[in-house]
Amino acid sequence: MGVTPRVAVLIVDDEALMRAGIRLMIDGVDGIEVVGEASDGRAAIEAVQRLDPDVVLMDIRMPKMSGIDATRALVAAGTRARIVVLTAFDTDAFLVDALRAGALSFLLKDAAPDLVLGAVQDAAEGRSRVSPGALTRLMSLATREPEQHGVPATPVGEAPRVAGGSVTRPPSVTEREWEVGRFVAQGLTNAEIAAALYLSGATVKTHLASLFAKLHVSNRVQLAILVLEHEHRP
């Protein structure tokens, strides 16, 4: 029988009771080991440097330094730790700012234990998770925000908007790659994108890999954020 890989986790939250509850929930389950705790963003940065965890469960609103600022600093420093934001503050601003700062996943503190455990295990392997309600709001930005700028929204599953005969996109990205990226921002799966663009699933995966490399993102959620920010820039 194979041995379950160890996943070292750092818990960051300014409430001691919350840290204790999270530890009780995940420590020792399916190879997860809580290797440390921190009560604010600055302490989190120091703990990551000292303990080298695989995953950081990061609160947002904390004294001295917020979880978003700590996440941004850790990512800029090149940490290998994957950061999962675990917060009680369910707002669009926190959601977008956390993912833009480099968090891999975004969960609410009322998430079911299985969801938190799954997010930790996924993060250790580089996969992102977003609480269902937060993911719905994130993807709704693909249709809500364009309307706020006076641009008709693109219904999910239809071709992306075209401006002046060509798709507005970063210079390094091809038109077809950007089409794929915009469908990701609408929440479509690879199979749905393939059907909408008359491509094979393998071709969609190739375009996504190229987008990740060119835009310096590591998952679909970060890609969606970047696409939305680019398209809705004033």
Kindly tell me the number of DSSP H helices and DSSP E strands found in the chain. Answer: 10, 5
Domain carrying residue 176: 134-231
Per-residue pLDDT tens digits of the chain, which is 234 residues long? 455 678 899 999 999 999 999 999 988 888 889 999 999 999 999 999 999 999 999 998 888 899 899 999 998 888 899 999 888 766 666 777 787 788 888 888 877 888 888 889 888 888 777 776 666 666 565 445 444 433 333 443 444 443 333 446 778 888 898 888 888 877 677 888 889 889 888 898 898 888 888 888 777 777 877 787 776 655
Report helix angle 41-51 to 67-76, nearest 10.
Answer: 40
Same domain, yes or no: 70 and 87? yes
Q: Read off the CATH number of the domain in which 100 is found.
A: 3.40.50.2300
Same domain, yes or no: 138 and 170? yes
The total of structural domains in the chain comes to 2
Same domain, yes or no: 72 and 118? yes
Same domain, yes or no: 119 and 146? no
- The backbone torsions φ and ψ at residue 217, rounded to the nearest 5 degrees and listed phi first, read -120, 160
The 3-state DSSP class for residue 60 equals coil
Same domain, yes or no: 111 and 25? yes
Same domain, yes or no: 18 and 101? yes
